[in-house]
Amino acid sequence: MSKKATNKKSRGSFDGRGSGNFRILGLQLQDIIKAFFGGNAAIAVVVIALICFFLAREAYQFFPDYRAELEVYRKSGQEFVGFIDDEASKHQEIKSLAFQAYGYEIYHRTKQHEQILEVYNELRNRSKTAAKGVLELRQRAFDKGDSIAAELDPKIKEAAEAEYKAHNTRAEKVISEYLAEFTRDDLSTASLSTIPKEDFELVKKSVSESMTSKNKEDAEFILETKMLRDAASEAAAKALEPFYAGVMEISAARNELDKMIKELRPHALKTKQFAVAYESAEARKEALAEGSENATSEERRARLEIESKRVLTTPPNYEERNQILYDSIEAHSAAADSMLTQTRSGVAKLDASMLKSQDAIDRVAIIQKKSKKLSDEINKTENALRVWNHKEPYSGWKTFFGFFFGQKWVTNSTWQDFYGLAPLFSGSLIIAVIAIVISVPFSIGAAIYVNQIATQFEKTAIKPILEFIGAIPSIVLGLFGILVLGDFLQKVSAIEWLANLLPGFPIESRLNMLNAGLLLAFMAVPTIFTLAEDALNNVPRAHSEASLALGATKMQTVLKVVFPAAISGILAAVLLGFGRVIGETMVVLLVAGNRISVPDFTAGLGVITQPAHTMTGIIAQEMGEVGEGTLHWRALFMVGLILFLISLSLNWAAQSVIRKFSRHH
């Protein structure tokens, strides 16, 4: 690499320091040694420069390529259909929320019975696995007793029955032993562990009864529960009839628009195929011609030549193909209007006062909010459609903004790939903020305690332990998040009073931003702690001595003299901790849930319990599967570049905070 001389000063040959007249290229041995060491020192610079170069080079080509692709997207009329699609997806949100609300309400009304049945099914399946062998043997004995041979010979029947009985007794024993050890916490779904203890015992009894009864009938208790459940759900359906009518009306509102999309989508897709084929046609033709020149056999040469001549190289007629889109604008406004009116009348029928489930009520509230925005959405689409023109070139700025603020990150799509940073960036940022908000008070509290208050023994014991945390590999913490923390959080969040108290509880998915944030908070502790402790350590003793001499208490000295004096070092520690957290890969890849969409901020603070994807995670997940030089590859490098710039600027900020601080002293 750049081992080139850093110092080309040639010295006289008799300076008494070298090894006589040994020279290469006019350099003395000592100079060469120095240059060699200097070259190694320069590697750090070279590496940074190369990282910048690679990231920048790949990312630099991203925008023009992306723009060209979006230009095709516009020319082929896909953009036009995309507008209508977006509008439809807004309605889809309302529709699925409505169905969810209905489902939650029904479940809520039959919950006490449903849960018992769910537990019953789980226990039954588990006992079946536990006593698998015996049950299998029992089944065979039964079959033997049921066979024609047994019909003819009573001896066989008797023997089979005895065998059956023996296996049955054993099965009963195995199952009852298994069930005796099984507690409510062992159930696979956390929310089920809240069922009443008496019910749980009854379920256990029913399981062992039904498994060992001859005709495997369900026990009395279960049959009763099933009846109750059926009755309850029937009653619920009846009571909710007007509500359901509203749901159905909302659902039906989009039929016309859907029909329109179904017609236009394939048309636009086909135009795109023309466009894509046209773009590569010349190259394909040439490649085939070249191939035929270099072909090994005459037969193959002729074949390639024919194929080369068959390639179409004229551009598609966009004007003609897009006319159908321009013509559909009126039809669209009619469809959209009818969708709006029907949705409105449907939403009006969703009466929250007849609901009992909090989940359902929440959803109805969201529906009402969203349906109000629907008309804006339709107007927006309408305007966009009217001004849309396939000939208008796609502007560079729009591409640029489309990347940085785009809400979609869609890859390997048959329709169109979109590279929007917003979902990834917001995921990374929220997780990092959670981690820092949790980590900072604890680490700084610990730093103050260890540095100022703790006994010597505590100091020597605690510091290495906290430094040890830094050595825990991130993949280990990720695994901990998947196997332990996820379930733990879900269980805790299902506790009634906590669920009512905190937003976002109970948690819906095991892998989410909170889970990842907690783990990253733990990971950030050693960084922040060590640097903050150093900063506190660097405060001159004279400060605290002066304060104590003036009669301040120990605490006053710590909080009002030492801490403010170290504040900039602590700030730098927090910044560096933030940098470490936002660049962390494995934990977020495993634990954040990897759902690529902008988190739903309408949930307020509860947003932190949603799954998300991150910038680091997307690189780690997708980089291995993309071809070199493709647009997707470049998009990932672009994400890498942004990540790199973020970490550089955090680093720079931390350094300048420290510099400012040291100038004061």
- Write out the binding residues for other proteins, residues 292-311 only, by CB under 8 A: 294-296, 302, 306, 309-311
For other proteins, which residue of 506, 579, 599, 611 counts as binding (CB under 8 A)? 579
Q: 101 or 561, CB closer to other proteins?
A: 561
How far apart, in Å, are the Cα atoms of 268 and each of 72, 263, 538? 11, 9, 67
* Phi (first) and psi of residue 27, to 5 degrees: -105, 140
**Please, what is the minimum distance in Å from the beta carbon of residue 586 to other proteins?**
5
For other proteins, which residue of 4, 48, 354, 503 counts as binding (CB under 8 A)? 48
CB 106 within 8 A of CB 283: no
Amino acid found at 6: T
How far apart, in Å, are the Cα atoms of 387 and each of 67, 252, 326, 397, 454? 20, 29, 10, 18, 70
CB 427 within 8 A of CB 409: no
Q: 331 or 653, CB closer to other proteins?
A: 653
For other proteins, which residue of 4, 8, 22, 36 counts as binding (CB under 8 A)? 36
Give yes or no for residue 61 binding other proteins (CB under 8 A).
no
For other proteins, which residue of 416, 426, 585, 610 counts as binding (CB under 8 A)? 585
Give yes or no for residue 410 binding other proteins (CB under 8 A).
no
Give yes or no for residue 514 binding other proteins (CB under 8 A).
no
Binders of other proteins among residues 119 to 148 (CB under 8 A) are 132-134, 136-137
For other proteins, which residue of 114, 218, 417, 584 counts as binding (CB under 8 A)? 584
What is the C-alpha separation between 514 and 434, in angstroms, rounded?
7
Q: Which x/- pattern over 76-115 shows residues binding other proteins (rule: CB under 8 A)?
A: ----------------------------------------
CB 531 within 8 A of CB 576: yes
Q: 360 or 519, CB closer to other proteins?
A: 519
Please choose, out of 71-79, 367-375, 539-547, 612-620, the segment that lies near other proteins by the rule CB under 8 A: 612-620
How far apart, in Å, are the Cα atoms of 491 and each of 118, 186, 498, 508? 17, 12, 11, 11
Give yes or no for residue 50 binding other proteins (CB under 8 A).
yes
Q: 173 or 344, CB closer to other proteins?
A: 173
**Please, what is the minimum distance in Å from the beta carbon of residue 461 to other proteins?**
9
User: Looking up tokens 């007629």, which residue turns up?
Assistant: 317
Residue 477: both structure tokens together: 């913490």
**Please, what is the minimum distance in Å from the beta carbon of residue 625 to other proteins?**
10
Residue 407: both structure tokens together: 């809400």
Give yes or no for residue 627 binding other proteins (CB under 8 A).
no
Q: 115 or 616, CB closer to other proteins?
A: 616
Give yes or no for residue 433 binding other proteins (CB under 8 A).
no
Give yes or no for residue 44 binding other proteins (CB under 8 A).
yes
CB 175 within 8 A of CB 208: yes
Give yes or no for residue 637 binding other proteins (CB under 8 A).
yes
Give yes or no for residue 482 binding other proteins (CB under 8 A).
yes
| CA count, 13 A, side-chain hemisphere, 333 | 11
What is the C-alpha separation between 131 and 129, in angstroms, rounded?
6
Residue 213: name the closest of 294, 124, 133 by CA: 124
Residue 394: both structure tokens together: 């796609």
Number of residues that bind other proteins (CB under 8 A): 111
Q: 140 or 184, CB closer to other proteins?
A: 140
What is the C-alpha separation between 582 and 648, in angstroms, rounded?
12
Q: 54 or 601, CB closer to other proteins?
A: 54
Q: Which x/- pattern over 332-361 shows residues binding other proteins (rule: CB under 8 A)?
A: ------------------------------
**Please, what is the minimum distance in Å from the beta carbon of residue 628 to other proteins?**
7
User: Looking up tokens 């041979």, which residue turns up?
Assistant: 149
Please choose, out of 45-53, 87-95, 355-363, 530-538, the segment that lies near other proteins by the rule CB under 8 A: 45-53
- Is the bond leading into 242 cis (omega within 30 degrees of zero)? no
* Phi (first) and psi of residue 594, to 5 degrees: 50, 45
Chain centroid to CA 194: 29
SS3 letters across 387-408: HCCCCCCCCHHHHHHHHHHCCC
Give yes or no for residue 644 binding other proteins (CB under 8 A).
yes
**Please, what is the minimum distance in Å from the beta carbon of residue 291 to other proteins?**
5
Give yes or no for residue 522 binding other proteins (CB under 8 A).
yes
Q: 234 or 279, CB closer to other proteins?
A: 279
List, as one string, the DSSP characters of 251-308.
Answer: HHTTHHHHHHHHHHHHHHHHHHHHHHHHHHHHHHHHHHHHHHHT-SSHHHHHHHHHHH
**Please, what is the minimum distance in Å from the beta carbon of residue 201 to other proteins?**
25
**Please, what is the minimum distance in Å from the beta carbon of residue 556 to other proteins?**
8
Give yes or no for residue 549 binding other proteins (CB under 8 A).
no
Give yes or no for residue 552 binding other proteins (CB under 8 A).
no
Q: 195 or 523, CB closer to other proteins?
A: 523
Binders of other proteins among residues 528 to 547 (CB under 8 A) are 529
For other proteins, which residue of 2, 10, 22, 43 counts as binding (CB under 8 A)? 43
**Please, what is the minimum distance in Å from the beta carbon of residue 276 to other proteins?**
9
Q: Which x/- pattern over 247-286 shows residues binding other proteins (rule: CB under 8 A)?
A: -----------------------x--xx--x---------
Q: What DSSP character marks residue 419?
A: E
**Please, what is the minimum distance in Å from the beta carbon of residue 98 to other proteins?**
32
**Please, what is the minimum distance in Å from the beta carbon of residue 373 to other proteins?**
36
Residue 236: both structure tokens together: 């619920």
Give yes or no for residue 227 binding other proteins (CB under 8 A).
no
Binders of other proteins among residues 437 to 476 (CB under 8 A) are 441-446, 448-450, 453-454, 462, 464-469, 471-476
Residue 80: name the closest of 433, 298, 281, 327 by CA: 327
Give yes or no for residue 429 binding other proteins (CB under 8 A).
no
What is the C-alpha separation between 6 and 537, in angstroms, rounded?
38
Q: Degrees (nearest 5) of the Cα angle 445, 449, 452? A: 130
Binders of other proteins among residues 148 to 187 (CB under 8 A) are none
* Phi (first) and psi of residue 494, to 5 degrees: -85, -10
For other proteins, which residue of 106, 477, 573, 592 counts as binding (CB under 8 A)? 477
Q: What DSSP character marks residue 218?
A: P
**Please, what is the minimum distance in Å from the beta carbon of residue 20 to other proteins?**
11
Task: Give helix 154-181 / helix 132-146 axis angle, nearest 10°.
Answer: 160
Task: Give helix 62-75 / helix 255-293 axis angle, nearest 10°.
Answer: 120
Burial class (CB in 10 A: 0-12, 13-18, 19+), 280: exposed
Give yes or no for residue 583 binding other proteins (CB under 8 A).
yes
Name the E strands within 464-571: none
Q: 81 or 134, CB closer to other proteins?
A: 134
Give yes or no for residue 19 binding other proteins (CB under 8 A).
yes
Q: What DSSP character marks residue 481?
A: I
Give yes or no for residue 550 binding other proteins (CB under 8 A).
no
Kindly give, in sequence order, each residue whose CB lies less than 8 Å from that of residue 44, ignoring residues fewer than 6 positions away: none
Give yes or no for residue 30 binding other proteins (CB under 8 A).
yes
